[in-house]
Structure 1
Amino acid sequence: MQLNPRQIKLGIGRTLLRLTPLILMGALTLATFWLVQKNTPIEKSALERARLHEPDYTINDGALSALNEFGATKYRVLGKKVVHYDDDASIDITTPRMRLFQANKAPVTVKSDTGHLDGDLTILDLINNASIFRPAQAATATEPATLRMLATSSYFKVLINDDIIETDKPITLEQGMSVMNSTEGGIFDNVQQSMTLSGQVKGRIERAPRATQ
């Protein structure tokens, strides 16, 4: 039996007509799958999640202390809120206050509005309303008398292992009745308990009352 071209076209048309619902369902299925894949968030691997800088614990009114080789307290860090991060072991501190201790010398207190302690516990960044305070100390058998000292700046960096506090921001230094201002910051040596100012330094130097010298 021979089929003419008209019959062949009609047969193909009927076949396509019967397959149309299947073709439409397939296309709809593919479109749905594509939309689901596009709008589904990519799930991070366990390693990627571990690398996220997210806190793993928070402590209110936290404290961190370190001892020297003789078992005495070398420094103590207090904070209204202490947030620890798992990925780099760093710590953010709200209203940090750090006390540095030296044998036979007045303890030095540094504080600020916010702070950041690196994961190695070697650098403490003090940010906004930062200050270094050392109270006056009477003379002892081994140490001369010292005047009250207050240094203020917008930023201080505490190099914990080196017993150094430094800044490259403008700083105001009050010692006794003297007031000095530095444009480029300065360095405080906690071992010697002395401050060295950098840049342009202006201010006034007042002699302490004889009774306190």
Structure 2
Amino acid sequence: MQLKAQQIKLSIWRTLLRLMPLLLMGTLTLVTFWLVKKNTPAEKSAIERVRLHEPDYIINNGALSALNESGNTKYRVLGKKVTHYDDDASIDIETPRMRLFPPEKSPVTVKADTGHLDGDLTILDLIDNAEIFRPPQVATATEPARPRMLARSSYFKVLINDDIIETDKPITLEQGLSVIRSTDGGVFNNIEQSMVLSGQVRGRIERVQPGAQP
């Protein structure tokens, strides 16, 4: 009986020796997994990621200006309330008003009820009661006289670096005494100060008497 017991113990010991490498590998795997898990930041849920989009500062009656290569003001953005977000550097603007200053031409003003400026400061979205206004321009040595221009839409996108304002929403365009409407929006070129309308275009075109500036 004693010999048989010793044989059983020896068999168990040999089995443990054979299993020892597997046990060591399993232990190392568990330890490694634990260390990686401990040192990896927990992934935030979608709700938590959304909550990160919070303002880091708010300015009342804020203003943002940019200069051109000559040191003159290229554009200026004003807002009743300017809210900046840290996660993407974007800006929400309450009652935004933007003035564009093309060289040797009348400044153009665009405004709306609300606005959103992207983090790169390249795109300004103007939402609800959006307008583009250009005052009348007297004739110069290089430019003819131009009547006032007013374009209205529910939405305008200002491509700041391209000096373009565009929309795919219906537009009502007033130029002097003329009133024109388009169904599919249009594109305003700030350098040329001209607008191209898209879709179905209807309206009334009135001649302006020489020297008149409606």
TM-score bracket, normalised by the shorter chain, equals 0.7 to 0.9
Q: Work out the CA distance in 2 between the residues paired with 1:55 and 1:108.
A: 30
Find the counterpart in structure 1 of residue 209 from structure 2.
Answer: 209
* 1:172 partner amino acid: T
Find the counterpart in structure 2 of residue 152 from structure 1.
Answer: 152
Structure-1-length-normalised TM-score:
0.76
Q: Work out the CA distance in 2 between the residues paired with 1:99 and 1:210.
A: 28
* 3-state secondary structure, aligned to 2:211: helix
Structure-2-length-normalised TM-score:
0.76
Is the CA contact (8 Å cut-off) linking 1:50 and 1:87 kept in structure 2? no
Find the counterpart in structure 1 of residue 69 from structure 2.
Answer: 69
Does 2:169 align with 1:163? Answer: no
Q: Work out the CA distance in 2 between the residues paired with 1:49 and 1:121.
A: 23
Q: Deviation of residue 143 (structure 1)?
A: 1.4
Find the counterpart in structure 2 of residue 79 from structure 1.
Answer: 79
* 3-state secondary structure, aligned to 1:62: strand
Q: Work out the CA distance in 2 between the residues paired with 1:211 and 1:73.
A: 30
* 1:131 partner amino acid: E
Find the counterpart in structure 2 of residue 176 from structure 1.
Answer: 176
Q: Deviations over 1:30-76 (max 9, x none)?
A: xxxxxxxxxxxx9x7xxx78981000000000000000011000000
Find the counterpart in structure 1 of residue 101 from structure 2.
Answer: 101
Extract unaligned runs of 5+ from structure 2: 1-41
* 1:166 partner amino acid: E
Q: Deviation of residue 212 (structure 1)?
A: 2.3
Q: Deviation of residue 192 (structure 1)?
A: 0.2
Q: Aligned residues: percent identity?
A: 79
Q: Deviations over 1:66-98 (max 9, x none)?
A: 000110000000000000000000000000000
Does 2:143 align with 1:143? Answer: yes
Q: Deviation of residue 114 (structure 1)?
A: 0.1
TM alignment of 1:127-138, pairs within 5 A: 127-138=127-138
Q: Work out the CA distance in 1 between the residues paired with 2:74 and 2:163.
A: 10
Find the counterpart in structure 2 of residue 57 from structure 1.
Answer: 57
Find the counterpart in structure 1 of residue 15 from structure 2.
Answer: none
Q: Work out the CA distance in 2 between the residues paired with 1:175 and 1:137.
A: 12
Q: Work out the CA distance in 2 between the residues paired with 1:179 and 1:50.
A: 44
Residues 50-59 or 128-137, more deviating? 50-59
Q: Work out the CA distance in 1 between the residues paired with 2:184 and 2:150.
A: 17
C-alpha RMSD of matched pairs (Å) = 2.0
| Residues 51, 175 of structure 1: alpha-carbon distance in 2 compared, 3 angstrom cutoff | same
Find the counterpart in structure 1 of residue 117 from structure 2.
Answer: 117
Q: Work out the CA distance in 1 between the residues paired with 2:207 and 2:83.
A: 45
Q: Work out the CA distance in 1 between the residues paired with 2:204 and 2:50.
A: 54
* 1:91 partner amino acid: I
Count of residues paired in the alignment: 170
